Amino acid sequence: MKIELISVIGLLLCLLIIGIEYILLYRLAELQDEHTARNDNIRRRLDIHVEGVLYAPTQGSRDAEITALADEINGEYAVYEMAVKEIKEHQGSGFDDEAKEKLIERINTQVDPVAMYAKMLDEGDVYHKGYACRRLADLEALEYRDKIKECVDSKDRDLAYNAAMALCEMGDVYEVAAYLLRIENDTQYSGRIVNEFFDQFTGDREELAAMLFEKCNKYMKCTVIKTIAQYKIDGFRNMYIEGASGDDNQLKIACVKALAAFGYPEDEQILQIAAGDKDWVIRSSAVRGLSLLKTQTALNTVKHALGDKEWWVRQTAAQSLTRMDISPRDLEEILGGYDRFAADAMKNVLYKTVDT
Amino acid sequence: MGFLNAIRYFIVYFNYFCMAFTLLLNIIYIIQLFVSFFRVHHNYNRTFSDDYLSYEDSENLLPISLIIPAYNEQEHIVQNVRSLMKLNYPHFEIIVVNDGSTDKTGDRVINAFHMHKIETSIRYQIPTQKIEAVYYSKTYPNLLYVQKANGGKSDALNAGINISKYPLFTCLDADSRIEKDALLRLSLEFIKDSRTVVAGGIVRIANGSKIVDGELKGFTMPKKLIERFQIVEYYRSFLMGRVFWAASNSLLIVSGAFGLFRKQTVIEVGGYKKNTIGEDMEIVVRIHHYMRKHRRKYKVTFNEFSVCWTQGPMSLNDIRSQRRRWQIGLMDTLISHAGMTFNPRYGFVGMVSMPYNWIFELFGAVVETIGYFLIPFTLIMGELNMFFFVIYFLLSVSLGVILSEGSLVLEQYTHRAAMTAKQSIAISVYAILENFGYRQIITIFRVEGIIKYRKLRKTWGKIQRKEFEQ
């Protein structure tokens, strides 16, 4: 009888859970419907206000429309974002990006979105705080820098990332460098962060990189060198030359890539040596760098790389050759030549670049 | 007399075993449901601060090769490629691999996209059937069409991997559609954690939904009961099961319709296994096997916000064929990697995930089916207490309803706004009804798969599917 009693209790419990689930489902679905209807309504009203703001005939009527829009937004960041998005995506004539930005600035003076996000930063959970940090940075609210700095120290990785990214957009070199140094040992994570941060950084990238080089480990150093290669920072060339000629393979890969991005004729010798390196990544970077030089010796090396044992190097060489001044005779020689690897790589690239 | 008594005792105790087994399975599912709820809650909040759209034009995203293996897909292929071209992703290539189709799949692609034959060097990093020709289009430079000898879906995927140039690839079914932002959301799993080698997206049943250019434009309840049941079933399977297993890095399957893979890892493990119909599960299990064996750090993850739409089977015959194939695929994979089971070297995958799949997903269907026949029989024979039987029946149905309703709550929680409140409540009725007949029939189909394992393990079943509304 005991087991039957337990079964009945179990059954009643199940029915209770089902009931709760039903209420939850219904409530969520209802909220969802309300949310959709409310958004549709807001969107409809925003359409009218935005239209009014954009096409107001006089300054006075535009101000009145902006006030009406501010009333509609009523301190809700989601509504504000919808309005801004609508203005940005407006396709009407006479509104270039600059005009739209000016209009948004005028709306901002009435709506005060900084206050909205500042409130979110103070009162929100970690997710809202992270979001607020980013938006405050977008709005260049430098006065909140200290509050954002506090979030960089958070134990929550996403919040710390968002706060550091916000500081990055604000160009805070010390805080960004400190954050990157803090995560340098997390190699699964820091590589991507370095890329994103240098991409978004509004301050002096050379200063940031120099600060990192001073204190960071080898992995971070290589990552930073590879990341900033695209910015062609002359100040680090000597370091690159030294690294490209050194024994450390990882550093060599990064430095050859960075030197290759410059395309300076005085680096040709280093790149020529690198094109014969045992590591195919170095060979490939060197070939890409040589293709920028367009000298006869560089051309010969790139042609030679068409027969490389590594597929990627052959492809890079073939792509590089199309950017160099290769003569029809040279091309004919490659395509009809003995080296099938070279001919295949070249054909592959040509079919995709030349009209057939 | 002794012999008859022995049979009687066996039947009675086997009944108890079946009951205990069913209850245990449902309790495990409920644990999964609770874990998934917290996981989905966390992930949903995370998407808020992730601001994934800021990556839209980012150079930091990894480029992706989209591989579409196609065999006699003349009806869907052009429409599918066109829909993929509108994806919201900065760098991707589409590779259509025609696996020796006997219909006009090839002609349709070549003509629709003005393609011409090119000579290209191919690195056969994974052995495949001969690639006969590669076509390229100047008008659509990110599209490649590959013509190869027939070798099966795995072979076509391997050929696509060989010809692809990007570090990530995804395999897509020719008759599925992925949402505009799905790739962007899924690829962030690789950006956020470089240990990620596989990421699966959620597959939803498109029957009844209007999908235009990768965007959901509306939902109407599908006409057939079987389609309605599948909607509930897919929510349960993806939002509950996969979210749970991914949380413990022991997800053994990423749907063949939509999964993103790190190409180098797939090449290292030797590509997709040929002559199996469960290649999507097998490749993920092999990656677990390889990575754990070589003590490498890795992650197999799942993103419930990356959506792929697929047309579910519309007839009982088609669903029978589909479920048989799934069960055979499961069995094939478990047998191939049997050495991982209860092997501590393979961590949670070996100690929990593999045994769970053997016991509950594979043999569970057998125990459940025997129970369907044996328990009523015992009741008729007077060996089972009627009250006990009724309670057991109600309990197992209630547990089933809890799971299905829970999945619907999860679905609603992910704020899809796909259904109205009325539709949500209407679909929840099917979460109850599926326990009276549909679930039992599906279980029997699964058992049929096990019985016919040897006969059907290398055959393909073609399922009749609806066109996506345009």
- Chain A residues 122-151 with a CB less than 8 Å from chain B: 125-131, 134
pLDDT of residue A355: 53
- Which of A223-237, A302-316, A321-335 has the lowest average pLDDT? A321-335
Interaxial angle between packed helices A157-169 and A187-200, expressed in degrees from 0 to 180 and rounded to the nearest 10:
30
Pairing of strands B64-70, B168-172: parallel
Q: Is A20 helix (H, G, I), strand (E, B) or coil?
A: helix
Helix runs in chain A, H state only: 2-54, 59-73, 77-89, 97-111, 113-123, 126-138, 145-152, 157-169, 173-182, 187-200, 205-215, 218-228, 237-245, 249-262, 268-274, 280-291, 296-305, 311-323, 328-335, 340-353
User: In this complex, do A189 and B398 lie within 8 Å of one another by their Cβ atoms?
Assistant: no
Q: Is B259 in contact with B168 (CB distance < 8 Å)?
A: no
Both tokens of A304, joined, read 């030679």
What is the residue-averaged pLDDT of chain A?
86
Burial tier of A327 (Cβ tally within 10 Å: 0-12, 13-18, 19+): exposed
State ipTM.
0.78
Q: Return the higher-pLDDT residue of A354 and B432.
A: B432
Q: Determine the Cα–Cα distance for residues A353 and B434; give it in Å rounded to an integer.
A: 56
User: In this complex, do A352 and B123 lie within 8 Å of one another by their Cβ atoms?
Assistant: no
pLDDT of residue A339: 66
pLDDT of residue A356: 46
Determine how many CB atoms are found less than 10 A away from the CB of residue B112. 15
| Domain at A268-356: CATH code | 1.25.10.10
Distances in Å between the alpha carbon of B273 and those of B67, B169, B266, B420, B458? 16, 17, 11, 43, 12
Average pLDDT over residues A334-350: 71
Whether the pLDDT of residue A24 is over 70: the answer is yes
Sheet holding B92-99, edge to edge: B116-118, B131-136, B143-148, B92-99, B64-70, B168-172, B258-262, B196-205, B299-310, B176-178
Average pLDDT over residues A27-46: 86
- Determine what percent of chain A is predicted with pLDDT higher than 90: 32
Which member of B46, B123, B421 has the closest CB to residue A29? B421
Q: What is the DSSP string of A126-147?
A: HHHHHHHHHHHHHTT-GGGHHH
pLDDT of residue A76: 86
Residues of B within 8 A of A195 (CB-CB) are 60
With a cut of 50, list the residues of chain B below it in pLDDT: 470
**Which of B247, B232, B194 is closest to B40 using CA atoms?**
B247
**Nearest chain A alpha carbon to B417:** A32
Amino acid at B199: A
Q: Determine the Cα–Cα distance for residues B310 and B312; give it in Å rounded to an integer.
A: 6
Whether the pLDDT of residue A338 is over 70: the answer is no
Determine phi and psi for A295, rounding to 5 degrees.
Answer: -90, 165
Domains of chain B by range and CATH? 1-50+195-470 (no CATH), 63-176 (3.90.550.10)
- Chain A residues 14-33 with a CB less than 8 Å from chain B: 14-15, 17-18, 21-22, 24-26, 28-30, 32-33
Residue B143 pairs in a beta bridge with: B94
Residues of B within 8 A of A352 (CB-CB) are 118, 136, 141
Q: Is B59 in contact with A199 (CB distance < 8 Å)?
A: yes
Residues of A within 8 A of B409 (CB-CB) are 21, 24-25, 28
Q: Is A285 helix (H, G, I), strand (E, B) or coil?
A: helix
Determine phi and psi for B184, rounding to 5 degrees.
Answer: -60, -45
CB pairs under 8 A between A and B: 128
Handedness of CA B242, B248, B252, B256 (dihedral sign): positive
Residues of B within 8 A of A159 (CB-CB) are 49
User: In this complex, do A192 and B194 lie within 8 Å of one another by their Cβ atoms?
Assistant: yes
Buried b / exposed e along A51-75 (16+ C-beta atoms within 10 A): ebbbeeeeeeebeebbeebbebbee
Q: Is A257 in contact with A224 (CB distance < 8 Å)?
A: no
Average pLDDT over residues A268-287: 91
Residues of A within 8 A of B162 (CB-CB) are none
Q: Determine the Cα–Cα distance for residues B42 and B322; give it in Å rounded to an integer.
A: 33
pLDDT of residue B24: 87
- Across A319-323, A328-332, B98-102, the highest mean pLDDT is recorded for B98-102
pLDDT of residue A91: 74
Q: Determine the Cα–Cα distance for residues A44 and A284; give it in Å rounded to an integer.
A: 56
**Nearest chain A alpha carbon to B166:** A312
Cβ contacts of B436 within 8 Å, gap of 6 or more: B397
pLDDT of residue B458: 65
**All structural domains of chain A with their residue ranges:** 45-111, 268-356
Q: Determine the Cα–Cα distance for residues A65 and B245; give it in Å rounded to an integer.
A: 53
- Chain A residues 169-228 with a CB less than 8 Å from chain B: 187-189, 191-192, 195-196, 199
**Band of residue A236 on the pLDDT scale cut at 50, 70, 90:** very high
Q: Is A278 helix (H, G, I), strand (E, B) or coil?
A: coil
Q: Is A99 helix (H, G, I), strand (E, B) or coil?
A: helix
Three-state DSSP string of chain B: CHHHHHHHHHHHHHHHHHHHHHHHHHHHHHHHHHHHHHHHHHHHHHHHHHCHHHHCCCCCCCCEEEEEEECCCCCCHHHHHHHHHCCCCCCEEEEEEEECCCCCHHHHHHHHCCCEEECCCCCCCCCCCCEEEEEECCCCCCEEEEEECCCCHHHHHHHHHHHCCCCEEEEECCCEEECCCHHHHHHHHHHHCCCEEEEEEEEEECCCEEEECCEEEEECCCCCHHHHHHHHHHHHHHHHHHHHHHHCCCCCCCCCCEEEEEHHHHHHCCCCCCCCCCHHHHHHHHHHHHHHHCCCCCEEEEEEEEEEEECCCCCHHHHHHHHHHHHHHHHHHHHHCHHHCCCHHHHHHHHHHHHHHHHHHHHHHHHHHHHHHHHHHHHHCCCCCHHHHHHHHHHHHHHHHHHHHHHHHHHHHCCCCCCCHHHHHHHHHHHHHCCCCHHHHHHHHHHHHHHCHHHHCCCCCCCCCCCCCC
Whether the pLDDT of residue A68 is over 50: the answer is yes
Which member of B120, B195, B398 has the closest CB to residue A11? B398
Whether the pLDDT of residue A2 is over 80: the answer is no
Residue with tokens 């699966």: B200
Residues of A within 8 A of B58 (CB-CB) are 196, 199
Mutate to test the interface with B, among A13, A28, A310 (most CBs of B within 10 A): A28
Both tokens of B215, joined, read 């965007």
Q: Is B43 in contact with B185 (CB distance < 8 Å)?
A: no
Whether the pLDDT of residue A94 is over 70: the answer is no
- Chain A residues 327-356 with a CB less than 8 Å from chain B: 341, 344-345, 347-348, 351-352, 355-356
pLDDT of residue A329: 74
